[in-house]
Structure 1
């Protein structure tokens, strides 16, 4: 079968690989659509980050090259011995966490913090940028009949955003600043809207993404090149600051503006993956008891995300800006999302079935 493999920085190749088998406890899925994630782009531009190179991943036992892709939907075509929740023909998505199930975090149900954590499509256990993949049934979820395969491929990034909102202990009527309006920033805006945010301000430099942010539910979009965002945020919140900020840029400007814009005892959640370190003065936290919290992926959020998207509380309209064939993923996918046209795109989704593009 065909699959997109990461060999190294700026080295992704579509090759023929062995088709996976539905072994004990595994569900075999024929992939319909798979999104290209920001994590995939980080691996393409600056990896390896999550991808095991040289030393095998402790759970998958594999090293690069690895099959990419973790935001995908498809049909069950076969189930392994012992699988009881699924049958051939079921429409599904995968929650792509690879966890040991035995460490202290896993035993507490916080499997996204597993000491040996990996991600399907990054750690060498297979991936969604392929014709077929297999995954344990406990991390496979059925999708409603009225949800398209394309929209189902957006559940994973939406679950990232929903988890970050939960980690912030965000409450109905709270105020928020979202730093950046790429795919995760836009998903965060939608989740905040669904959570009943009183005010959503977004940091976004001038581009079409400002319009995307407004469409997602932002009340105000500000360009840091044009205004002092912390000052504007304080004006909008009675001189206090927002209850929570959500950093999705992975850039120092977002980090710094976020800390300065939250109120006393406010919370900044860092959802972005960073390619290099940053610095700040801890007094920014000490003098006002502000908090910085990291958030990684999701845990137990997939069912809620599917329900919120199915009933329209999270619309996810307009996210898919391009559909491409697997064979063209480097030029039409990775190069597009890292080149001069990148700001025009939110989510590029990929299919191994050429007929879906006709």
Structure 2
């Protein structure tokens, strides 16, 4: 009887444990099987062809429309200086007078000789009319008179070299001479620049040559005037491409009525390209991994794939897609950092206002301002 009693006690101890196990098993049968991976919540947009304006960026240097260094033609002492540094002068304004006492005396003698030659010629012409002298004698006197007159013109020209004039209207720089200074041919007296309008010369890569045309709009900015934008136009495209840099020099013409652009200034130039139709996506949708550039394109069934693309220019948060997408494609704009190819997505619920960079229909908003195109690479995510 003892063994039976032992088994009965053991059975009583095991029964509650079995009951708990059975309840646990029953409870697990009531729960749903484990769910698969949840869909990623993202924001998408449908892309379409839009009017697109972009720019070609370049750095240029300001050059005066006309620019010279005023020098003397002769060796002489400065008599008077008729300008102040920084003064605006008109064409033919006398800038410097050089001493010319010796030339003045020579001019007086030459004029006297020319006057005497005129009298002799008139006298001999009367005699020749009366056939009192030969025609050959009259011709000789005519030559002497012409020589005397030429001598007067020569001395007057030498005196003219003593008056140094402005060959065109402009602004003089800092004067380098003073009265009493001895100047020689080539001695710098002052600079003269016509900056009522200026040229800005810049280079453009050979690959952009087909996008250049005379008359295109240029926008220029300078670090000296960060709040101003200067507008000009393409004036000349060089006939040659530099074989060393594979770039062509372009000259832009910029009006400068207030004379704020100075020769030698560095200007950031944006060349406005003609408006065209292009596929545009928000820049945050573009992912760069090494040399690969792609976006996440949404397929049927809300599954995403990596679509390799080639990016053209970028404008204020938007990017032009040159290759890889077609109008009507749906891409992921926000939330790309948590995606992998083949994942399912779920469209995020939108609030009352439009999403950044998108309109109410989920299309990319094209800004009014433009900036220069950037390389294809952008940070991922």
TM-score (norm 1): 0.18
Structure having the larger proportion of residues in helix = 1
Q: In terms of Rg, which structure is larger?
A: 2
Structure having the larger proportion of residues in strand = 2
Structure possessing the higher relative contact order (Cα contacts under 8 Å, 6 or more residues apart) = 2
TM-score (norm 2): 0.17
